[in-house]
Each structure stands twice: as structure tokens, then as C-alpha cells.
Structure 1
Amino acid sequence: MALYVYSIAAKGHPQRLDGLNGVGTRPAPLRSVTAGALSAVVSDISEEIRPKRRDLLLHQEVQERLMADGPILPLQFGYIASDDDAIQDVLETNADKYLDALQRLEDCAEYHVRVSQEDEEPLLQQILQDSPQAADLNERIRAGDPDPQLPLALGELVAREVEARQESLAAGLVQALLPFAREHVAHPPTGNDFLNLSLLVPEKQKEDLLTAQANLGREIGGGVGLRFAGPLPPYSFV
């Protein structure tokens, strides 16, 4: 029977998973597959797994339960192995790499930072105040200048300014947050976000990071949303 794989940990990890069953329409008990110094947490599965809400939440709950007792290498949702032998082969082949990664992640968690432009009006007003060229174009349009190129020229100028200011703000936020992280990964922004950042934060830096978050939230001004999520399993650093 195929196996759904949740996470990899050191053989000595306590893996306290009482009360949890696996993903799927017929949930099977969680168990371990061990090879050498490593162990994988798995459950039997007899179906093609899909990202349903219940299963996504259960996958995350398993990771968080494991993470509370020591470092883990969390797998993304949906990883399937053919059988115990296949998992043991992977653990044995990659033992040195996995053990190094577990040591690197010791006493750390992932924090996810997103920054978005929730309201453009304050930023647009600031651009009109700071840019004489933008202010002139805007005034000519408001005064009824019939030149059809004016709105296009203003739109392009404002778009360049918005991009430049967001890039500058994002760079400043990254520099302010990096001192609290052992490692970081910048992801491509999506939607209205212009910063999508993962931080690997040691436990001893957690409170300082949260204090910095609160201070930055007050400093960045209106119209910008700063969102933190964590502590999370370190998916971005496996």
C-alpha cells in the first residue's frame, strides 16, 4: 500500500502524535518508518490525495505537533511514497544531507512576511506632492487640457514612482528584519503584495522579531499592510 509522508526527523524525536490519524477519506493511523538515524512520519493511503481543507489542516497539525518537540524536515502537502522500502532507501541515500539540515533548523521556526498596497490613495497623493512633473500633468488634466497624451503620461509616471517606492520600502523592510533571522528566502510576490519573505528565526530571537514587527507596522504609514505569520514549520528552508 502507498504511504503519505508528512515529515522527516531524527530517530530519537519523540513523535507524540496521540489522537491524530492520517489524511484521506479512510484515515489510517500515523506511524514511523526508520532507517539509520532518521525516521519519517507516514500513514497508509489507498487513494489519490487532493488538497481538501480537512486534509490540509491535518497535514499542518502533524507538522506543528512534531515541531513542538524538536527540529523536523516538513514535506509539502501531497508527497506519496510507494512503500516502506522506498522511504528507507531515500532516508539512507540522503542521510548526511538530512541530518545536516536538521541540525541547521534546531530551535528555529519559519516566519512569513507579506507586505501589500491595501490603499493606493495615500501613496498617489504623496507622489503628486513630491513630483513636480506629476503635479503639473495632473493639474493640466484637471484644468481641461485636451491633449490626449496627458493621462497616459501621468499614468506611466505614477506607475514608475509606485514601483520604485514599493521596491525601496521592501528593501528597507528586508534589511530591518534580517538581523533576527538565521536565513531568509524571498518569494515572488502575488496579488497586491510587493514583498513575500520567509525568515528562519531562532527561538531566542522570536520576541525581538515581534517587537520589530510592531514598530515597523507603525512606521510604514497608511495604505500599506504588513502581515506576519508564524511560528510555522520551516517549509521554505528544507
Structure 2
Amino acid sequence: MSTTSTSTSPSQSPAPSLYIYAITGSDHPLRLAGLRAVGGVSGALRAVTGGPLACVVSPAPPDLRPKRRDLAAHQEVQERLMADGAVLPMRFGMLAPDDAAVTAALDGKRAEYVRRLEELHATAEFNLKAARSQDGLLREVLTESDDARRLNERTRDGGGTYADRVALGELVAHQLDARQRLLADQVVGRLAELARGKVVAAPAGDDFLNASFLVERGRAEEFSRAARRLARGYGEGYDFRLRGPLPPYSFVA
């Protein structure tokens, strides 16, 4: 499925009328009662079916924006669905013009969607982000790298040449990057043994790790305990943030 724009002009076709939450099997319980749809409407959620598949939708709200209330509603629907069976969760903001377009999209990728639902059966996603104190990492580089230590001593208090300062900056940057990459690989390697799959994304800000793990629901608590134990093992100067269980956003494509 692909997103469509909600804006129109007199010369354009009408705005999309359906907001898309997730694809499930047509035999999914679809316990939608009591859930609020994106846009704030209660009782508006329903399913469009196509053969072995179903797509959960609601009326598309006008001027759709990622407001906190709507983001929460989007995730709550997906978490309710995930509690009862396999789900292919859609990103926030997925729209379709009508039921026929949804049915056509389900039919067009039927085999792929069915296969992915089978692969994601009884699984959930856990996302782990981690950062390390840059001061602590820098001290480690200057302590363990002979070249960095010599250049740092040479340029201390304004000494050394311009070339020395450039060389020190490049060496430290390279060492910081290499050490953080190695650390990320070690963390992922230790947790991947408990997961069915993993996706490692580019970290942002001060993080050295942004990894998602596909975990069997029966091992969710085991995975959480292992991640917490791993975080404690690294001690002070590290910041590990684990989120989950979540709909398997990172494993849909």
C-alpha cells in the first residue's frame, strides 16, 4: 500500500476517505470495540476483507497531522490487534481513497502479505537504543591509544603544531567511531541469540546503537530480562533504553 495526499483542489480528485492501521488475516478476532480511531471518533473502526486478508480502517480525518492523541490512537489499535494475532502494522498517515482501492492492494500482494503474517505469527518487536558518556569514551581513547596519548601531550596547553592538532582530532574521531561500532556489534550479538531477527538502524544524537529485535512472544520476558542484565553489566556512563513489546514495525517490509 502507498500513502496518498489529503490535500485537494477543484481540479483534483476527492481526498482519500480511509485511514489505514494494519493488515491481518481475515480470521483475526478483530476486537475493535471500545477503541478510538485516529481523528477522535469512537466506533469508527472496521475491517475491509480480501480473500485471506483483512485491513483495519476508519474514516480519514481532515487535515491529518501527527498529533499526540492521534499517534496514541494509531498505536493502541495496533497493540490491540497484535495481542490477538499476527499483524502487519502500517506507519502513521497511511491513506486510501476507498474500499475498492484497499481490496485491490490486498489482492495485488496477497502472497507476500500472507507470507509475512506467517513469519510474524506470535512475535513482537523490541527496540533498544544506547548511548555512552563521551567523556568516558574519550578518556578511554587517550589511555589506550599510544598515538592519541602522544599527540594529546604534545598539543596540551596550546603546544604542538597545527598539523599535530589536526592529526589528534582525526585520530580521536576515528577511534571514537570504531569503538562505538564495536560496542554496538557486541550488544547486538549478545541479544540476537534470543531473537528471531534483527534490524540495525543508524543511531542519532549521542547514541551508538539503535537496534530492533523480532522476538517470539513466549520469550518476551526472557529477552527483557537479558537486556536489563546486559545494561547493568556495562555500569555507569551508559544509557540503555528498551521499548517493547511493540507491533513489529521494522519487520514488515
The 8 Å contact of residues 23 and 53 in structure 2, kept in 1 or not, is answered as: yes
Q: Percent identity?
A: 45
Aligned-partner Cα distance in 2 for 1:21–1:144? 63
Aligned to 1:194: 208
Q: TM-score, normalised by structure 2?
A: 0.87
The alignment partner of 1:158 has SS state of helix
The 8 Å contact of residues 110 and 232 in structure 1, kept in 2 or not, is answered as: yes
How many residue pairs were aligned?
237
Structure 2 counterpart of 1:155, one-letter code: G
Aligned to 2:55: 40
The one of 113, 118, 136 equivalent to 1:122 is 136
Give runs of aligned pairs for residues 22-33 of structure 1, distance below 5 A: 22-24=37-39, 29-33=44-48
The 8 Å contact of residues 34 and 43 in structure 2, kept in 1 or not, is answered as: no
Aligned-partner Cα distance in 2 for 1:96–1:144? 66
The alignment partner of 1:15 has SS state of coil
The CA deviation string for residues 140-190 of structure 1, in whole angstroms up to 9 with x for no partner, is 233652533333222221111111111111111111111111111111222
Aligned-partner Cα distance in 1 for 2:145–2:160? 22
CA spacing shift, 1:5–1:143, aligned 2, 3 Å: closer
Gaps of 5+ in 2: 1-15
Aligned to 2:168: 154
Runs of 4 or more consecutive aligned structure 1 residues displaced over 3 Å after TM superposition: 25-28
Aligned-partner Cα distance in 1 for 2:59–2:198? 34
Aligned-partner Cα distance in 1 for 2:236–2:180? 13
Aligned-partner Cα distance in 2 for 1:83–1:25? 20
Deviates more, 1:138-147 or 1:3-12: 138-147
Aligned-partner Cα distance in 1 for 2:26–2:124? 20
Give the CA RMSD over aligned residues.
1.8
Deviates more, 1:218-227 or 1:10-19: 218-227
Give runs of aligned pairs for residues 106-185 of structure 1, distance below 5 A: 106-117=121-132, 119-142=133-156, 145-185=159-199
The 8 Å contact of residues 28 and 43 in structure 1, kept in 2 or not, is answered as: no
Structure 2 counterpart of 1:199, one-letter code: F
Aligned-partner Cα distance in 1 for 2:60–2:161? 67
Whether 1:225 aligns to 2:239 is yes
Whether 1:98 aligns to 2:113 is yes
Aligned to 1:12: 27
Gaps of 5+ in 1: none
Q: TM-score, normalised by structure 1?
A: 0.92
